[in-house]
Structure 1
């Protein structure tokens, strides 16, 4: 189910593709989607830039275009009705290494140089040295600096530990504006990768002034072997055709849902393989090493402006170590895997794994959006 009954009572902002129309801004009322695209706010970006986006969405008149299940029935492609990622002109940014457990896995990737055959032995060595000593460390604290000194002495310091417990967060560009896919779409793996995994995350919606206005779910698809060979390959590991999924919709903050709910959120994830394989994972925001507000402040401010706002992936605790096929190699995707990420209050995001070269090509960019809106007399 894309949203349960309790979640449907929230204040939602999203995007869908309507056949013979194009991308539309929608909200959810009584289980039905309403097209609230209008000249005053024809994009999600424009809605979020209003002084009171929640009030606008709550009061906006719109056209009933069908039940939410109608648009969740298929990922669709071309001119087929479907959910789109709920962001449009915003930059798509992501934070990495924000949880201690996944941070250790990044160290393992680096030590293994992207070779999954070496992962098990290195994991045992790293765990022996580090153990659970990082679990309660506040990033950038004096205690973190002491741990850093000890790890350097042991020859185990890593660039991933630097951004994991050092003063500066890792913030990178995950995808280009309008390139993210939504509920039901195929998500893509670069065909060079043989060691990869999903990353279930909460994604914040932030306007150009740095206001955190709502949250949604995301899958920050990750190529462990590519990034493990060199951190300088982060762009190749992260930004590929259909490699970023966001959805189902942005839940705007109001009296019933706030940033504190994000801080307490528990994410669940299930991977269902076409071969019958199944893996359940989880990510608890209670264990994040940096507060979400701090991650936003490190991303946008006087040092860096985003005139169209941004959406920000907050990182994940999920670190798949369970062997899928070969002993010692841990988990890796197979094409046809169905990944469902869910979180109470934010619904569920479901996508099917393909190669990026097999996913529909991204062709509808900013120029196409502007021409579409102009043709509908919305600009």
Structure 2
């Protein structure tokens, strides 16, 4: 676990589970100390995101000290945590959980390979070389939907190599899908889940934007968009099965709200690092550079929310990743796939570190606390 759980500066917002309290409390971190800022005026993270100036509210909010952030983060690990002490949970609550796919060239090419390989890892290496040779262009320089992009599309169609993934990678329309339902994400230290049918899967390190119901981006956090490569590779129509399972979406550790020092431009220039550490001694290092995204974060938000689609409680949006694991784990040509108890850590200096342990979705804690439960508990506490 990285010692830099949260950044050493910025206006931070999240949630924590406290002993003796049935519902998560809204928290912030100041100077390494965690404060409970739950109030009747803003009892949920969603309510704070809807304010005119969320960062100013959190910076000035009165709070009750509940402990040191590193101690609380350490206690958040699902396999070692102490229920009689505070722990972090996902920093979002009522927001819809959306994701954008195929927003980086490297990720796009891997999706094409998945489609061509039909979930067979052994075919992936040779297909990867074939696809790169066939394209014969630097797609990172092509603006999706532009005339240049359409020429590449025409060339690929003529060669019989067009793909639905190339369509959303360089075509006019972004891929936006539902990653999970409100309240379904897990936080720092929780187990993340893989559907038991999958034998080829991977983490996806991403930045996650926090967006108000008005479509205003108010902050960002980190996310692991757990992916089943074999399932999606068999058919894009299985995207729901590949993406939306128990504990398949991690978010955290905390939201960093936009202020004068942290802005959307910071997000656009962020470099994410990721490490997978297995109990078998395997280590995989990866990265995702937001400067190489092919669609701007703003355009992805606009494709998600607007006159065409509203989200009354706001949303969070995974921005996609350029990370595509190709390092062999169990032998030449076998590629990468998770093993149980892998620990995945995603980091960037401005947002901290999100770490989770990999389990089967059927073995992760069942998702039993939903929106109705939260609202009832807040009403009982006279916070609504």
TM range (shorter): over 0.9
2:68 is matched with 67
2:159 is matched with 154
Measure the CA separation in 1 of the matches of 2:152 and 2:43.
Answer: 50
Measure the CA separation in 2 of the matches of 1:146 and 1:269.
Answer: 35
Distance 1:89 1:78, change over 3 A: farther
SS in structure 2 at match of 1:311: strand
Q: Is the contact made by 2:4 and 2:353 (CA closer than 8 Å) also made in structure 1? A: no
Query: Deviation at 1:128?
Result: 1.3
SS in structure 1 at match of 2:139: coil
1:200 corresponds, among 187, 205, 219, to 205
Query: Deviation at 1:118?
Result: 1.6
CA deviations on 1:89-141 (whole Å, 9 max, x unpaired) are 00000000000111000000001111212212211211211245212111111
Distance 1:318 1:5, change over 3 A: closer
SS in structure 2 at match of 1:34: strand
For the pair 1:340 / 2:345, whether they are aligned, the reply is yes
2:8 is matched with 8
Query: Deviation at 1:221?
Result: 0.2
CA deviations on 1:268-290 (whole Å, 9 max, x unpaired) are 00000001100100000010000
Measure the CA separation in 2 of the matches of 1:209 and 1:78.
Answer: 39
Q: Is the contact made by 1:96 and 1:315 (CA closer than 8 Å) also made in structure 2? A: yes
Distance 1:353 1:65, change over 3 A: same
Query: Deviation at 1:75?
Result: 2.3
Q: Is the contact made by 1:27 and 1:34 (CA closer than 8 Å) also made in structure 2? A: yes
Measure the CA separation in 2 of the matches of 1:175 and 1:85.
Answer: 13
Kindly tell me the number of residue pairs found equivalent between the two proteins: 379
Measure the CA separation in 2 of the matches of 1:84 and 1:241.
Answer: 15
Superposition TM-score, scaled by structure 1 size: 0.97
2:87 is matched with 82
SS in structure 2 at match of 1:162: helix
Q: Is the contact made by 1:266 and 1:284 (CA closer than 8 Å) also made in structure 2? A: yes
Query: Deviation at 1:166?
Result: 0.4
Q: Is the contact made by 2:5 and 2:73 (CA closer than 8 Å) also made in structure 1? A: no
2:218 corresponds, among 213, 219, 223, to 213
Distance 1:308 1:79, change over 3 A: farther
For the pair 1:163 / 2:168, whether they are aligned, the reply is yes
Measure the CA separation in 2 of the matches of 1:367 and 1:283.
Answer: 36
SS in structure 1 at match of 2:291: helix
SS in structure 1 at match of 2:155: helix
Q: Is the contact made by 1:8 and 1:28 (CA closer than 8 Å) also made in structure 2? A: no
Measure the CA separation in 1 of the matches of 2:51 and 2:338.
Answer: 41
Superposition TM-score, scaled by structure 2 size: 0.96
Query: Deviation at 1:7?
Result: 2.3
Query: Deviation at 1:4?
Result: 4.1
SS in structure 2 at match of 1:8: coil
Measure the CA separation in 2 of the matches of 1:33 and 1:176.
Answer: 27
For the pair 1:48 / 2:38, whether they are aligned, the reply is no
Measure the CA separation in 1 of the matches of 2:330 and 2:257.
Answer: 41
SS in structure 1 at match of 2:106: helix
For the pair 1:229 / 2:230, whether they are aligned, the reply is no
What root-mean-square deviation, in Å, do the aligned CA atoms of Structure 1 and Structure 2 show? 1.5
Q: Is the contact made by 1:2 and 1:72 (CA closer than 8 Å) also made in structure 2? A: no
SS in structure 2 at match of 1:164: helix
5+ residue gaps, structure 2: none
CA deviations on 1:8-43 (whole Å, 9 max, x unpaired) are 221001011111113000011111111000011000
User: How does 1:109-124 map onto structure 2 within 5 Å?
Assistant: 109-124=114-129
For the pair 1:249 / 2:254, whether they are aligned, the reply is yes
Distance 1:149 1:232, change over 3 A: same
